Amino acid sequence: MDRHNVIPQHIAIIMDGNGRWAKQRGKDRSEGHFAGMMALKQTVMAAAQKGVKWLTVYAFSTENWGRPQAEVDALMELVCKGVEMNTPDLAAQGVRVQVIGDRSRFSDIVNASLNRIESQTAMGEIMTLVLALNYSSRSELTMAVQQIARRVAAGELQADAISEQTISQSLYTAAMPDPDLIIRTSGEYRLSNFLMWQASYAEFYFTDTLWPDFGEEELGKAIEAYNTRDRRYGLVK
């Protein structure tokens, strides 16, 4: 097998298994999410240290609103707490935070937290941490289609001139490179409405490890596996 020693420029993670982690310990699901936030912190620091430039994490999907209200409330509170607890360290480490997703459904308090972490880390040049919050690929693509249709209707764009680039540039991720590696924890093998357009040429890594147990070592294993892959982009070597 072809082996290299490359650090993926952009890693995206579906952080799954917080609930099962909590259940195994007889704890409340919200404690699993708190442990998940600690794992995220460790993973962010490890990724930045390894030279990853972009790390995107699926923190709250549009489908997650359907969870029990108490769990949704706990997750929203965790976002605010996470911002408060981690902004100074992220800024000090040169990690810039950006949010993708539809923010219109978040409370003013949550939106204020998100604006704060984005503005207070905006100068970070070591790595960008992208938090996908109230995000789903289908809603992102729907929004992009609406935006493009409005431009066509206004006569700014010819329908035949719509290219892959037009679509990429209409997504939340317009200014970001596509992910090279997508990791999903907890033994699930689905994309769950995450970065469907952007994942076209991504490599996938699945692990049985539950998200709260993920960290530097697991990240290293995922990168090692990535280095055994032969990325051909549909071409012949």
Choose between 22 and 52: whose C-beta lies nearer to ligand FPP.
22
Number of other CB atoms surrounding residue 8 within 10 Å: 24
Q: Is 89 considered catalytic here? A: no
Q: Is 16 considered catalytic here? A: yes
Report the distance separating Cα 139 and Cα 182, nearest Å.
20
Which residues are at the interface with ligand FPP (CB under 6 A)? 15-20, 33, 36-37, 40, 59, 64, 78-79, 82, 131, 186, 211
Interacting residues of 57 by C-beta distance below 8 A, sequence separation 6+: 12, 13, 15, 40, 129, 130, 131, 132
CB of 104 to ligand FPP, least distance (A): 18
Choose between 61 and 170: whose C-beta lies nearer to ligand FPP.
61
Catalytic site residue from 16, 86, 134, 180: 16
Report the distance separating Cα 155 and Cα 62, nearest Å.
32
Catalytic site residue from 64, 111, 193, 227: 64
CB of 114 to ligand FPP, least distance (A): 10
CB of 2 to ligand FPP, least distance (A): 33
CB of 135 to ligand FPP, least distance (A): 11
**Closest residue to bound ligand FPP by CB:** 19
Print the SS3 string covering 124-191: CCCEEEEEEEEECHHHHHHHHHHHHHHHHHCCCCCHHHCCHHHHHCCCCCCCCCCCCEEEECCCCCCC
Just list the catalytic residues: 16, 64
